Amino acid sequence: MKNMLSKINRKDALTLGVLVAMFLVFFVVLSTGMASNQLKNMIIPMSYYILLAISLNLMVGVLGELSLGHAGFMSVGAYVGCYVAVTLVEKYPSMPLAAYLPIAMVIGGLAAAAFGVIIGIPALRVKGDYLAIVTLAFGEIVRTLVQNMSVFGGALGLDTGDIRPKNTALTLLPFTAAVVILSAILIMNLVRSKHGRSIMAIRDNRIAAEACGINVNFYKVAVFGISAFFAGVAGVLYGHNFTIIKPETFGFNMSIEILVMVVLGGMGSNMLGSVVAAVVLTVLPEILRDFQDYRMLIYSVMLVLIMLFTSAPAFAGIRERLSLGFIKEKLTAKKKAKKKSKEGDGA
């Protein structure tokens, strides 16, 4: 019994281990100057995509509501947070990154969370495909609104050159690592708690969840808010990584990209899939740049293949043989066999 309990937590521990190891590698690679320019430019995007994928997984995989507007929440965070950062830096030019970045993240995240709640309330009345359309519309509305707001630079975009640190990737990395790891811990803590169970119960059977005394509306709105908060934080990171935030970046395509990460990584309470998928899907298009014209073709074919591999019943046998549990079992079996043969020799 205890074994099984710790096994569940072990999944989270593995996710955290992978994250920590990944950031350590990034840090070493960046600080020793081993990284190519291509890799350098990918590290921060990889990190905020991880954050986006985890937060969307909370909504899609844990709550079970399809959202196509995650880029919209991200853009709210990016614009509000970076606007705050830009104003701060304008007023106090000597303010260090360590001071204005966290402030920007909290404010950007809260702004996105507010939008999450605002979208969450009407979304209580629609389900499935219809909710997907509502969130899709939300993303487009935000993009169009921002395009026409002179405060945020309109269609030209918000100039974030002043808040973007020099030697961007290396300077941002400690903050990015801290934020991504902390967010992952918070989200996984939530999922493995009383509240997480209630949220998953709503996903599995709404009617039974209500009959068990769960306030479905409260949890749905709360998850919208929490998920949007972390998307907003990712947006602030995005803003600090580039010299300009353009509204058209946060279009439908980006929302889909994040959703693809969540789906390929496997929806549900295990966040490791989202993390790996976010990394792979950020790196893949960059690597394929060498193939020029065929890039998107290869990318989409690979998506189809990954999807087939991760979910088609025909590959179940191969999947099992590649799973950690199976490899471990084999290893221990080998050890046992060795032990036995040794004992046999001794006798």
Partner 1 sequence: MSNRNTIISANGTEMFSPPSNVLIPTRDEGKQPVLDVRGLGIDFGGLRAVDEFTITVGPTEIAGLIGPNGAGKTTVFNLLTNVYKPTRGAILLDGHPTAGKTVAQVNRMGIARTFQNIRLFDQMTVLDNVRVGMGNNIHCNFAESFLRLPRHFKAEKRSTERALELLSIFNMESEAYTLAGNLPYGAQRRLEIIRALATEPKVLLLDEPAAGMNPSETVALMESIRSIRDTFGIAIMLIEHDMNLVMGVCEGIAVLNFGKLIAKGTPDQIKNNEAVIEAYLGRQEKKEA
The footprint of partner 1 (CB under 8 A) covers: 1, 4-5, 186, 189-190, 193-198, 200-201, 203-205, 207-216, 222, 268
Could you tell me the smallest distance in angstroms from the CB atom of residue 272 to partner 1?
17
Could you tell me the smallest distance in angstroms from the CB atom of residue 268 to partner 1?
7
Output 99 or 216, the one with its CB closest to partner 1: 216
Output 207 or 347, the one with its CB closest to partner 1: 207
- The separation between CA 133 and the C-alpha centre of its own chain, rounded to angstroms, equals 21
Q: In what helix (H) or strand (E) does residue 158 lie, and over which residues does it extend?
A: strand 158-159
Could you tell me the smallest distance in angstroms from the CB atom of residue 193 to partner 1?
3
CB-based contact 184:271 (threshold 8 Å): yes
Could you tell me the smallest distance in angstroms from the CB atom of residue 237 to partner 1?
20
Could you tell me the smallest distance in angstroms from the CB atom of residue 267 to partner 1?
10
Could you tell me the smallest distance in angstroms from the CB atom of residue 1 to partner 1?
7
Q: In what helix (H) or strand (E) does residue 211 lie, and over which residues does it extend?
A: helix 206-211
Integer CA distances (angstroms), 277 to 3, 104, 154, 183, in order? 28, 27, 33, 17
Cβ-proximal residues to 321 (8 Å cutoff; 6+ apart), any chain = none
Output 164 or 203, the one with its CB closest to partner 1: 203
Output 114 or 201, the one with its CB closest to partner 1: 201
Question: 157 — phi, psi (to 5°)?
Answer: 100, 165
Output 95 or 201, the one with its CB closest to partner 1: 201
Could you tell me the smallest distance in angstroms from the CB atom of residue 191 to partner 1?
9
Output 11 or 197, the one with its CB closest to partner 1: 197
Other CB atoms within 10 Å distance of the CB of residue 257: 18
Q: Which of 22, 67, 303 is nearest to 184 (CA)?
A: 22
Could you tell me the smallest distance in angstroms from the CB atom of residue 281 to partner 1?
25
Output 153 or 265, the one with its CB closest to partner 1: 265
- The separation between CA 334 and the C-alpha centre of its own chain, rounded to angstroms, equals 38
Other CB atoms within 10 Å distance of the CB of residue 98: 10
Output 3 or 37, the one with its CB closest to partner 1: 3
Output 99 or 200, the one with its CB closest to partner 1: 200
Q: In what helix (H) or strand (E) does residue 301 lie, and over which residues does it extend?
A: helix 295-311
Q: Which of 55, 56, 63, 75 is nearest to 115 (CA)?
A: 75
The token pair at 167 is 């030697």
138 strand-pairing partners: none
Exposure string for 293-308, b = 16+ CB within 10 A, e = fewer: eebeeeeeeeeeebee
Could you tell me the smallest distance in angstroms from the CB atom of residue 185 to partner 1?
9
CB-based contact 112:81 (threshold 8 Å): no
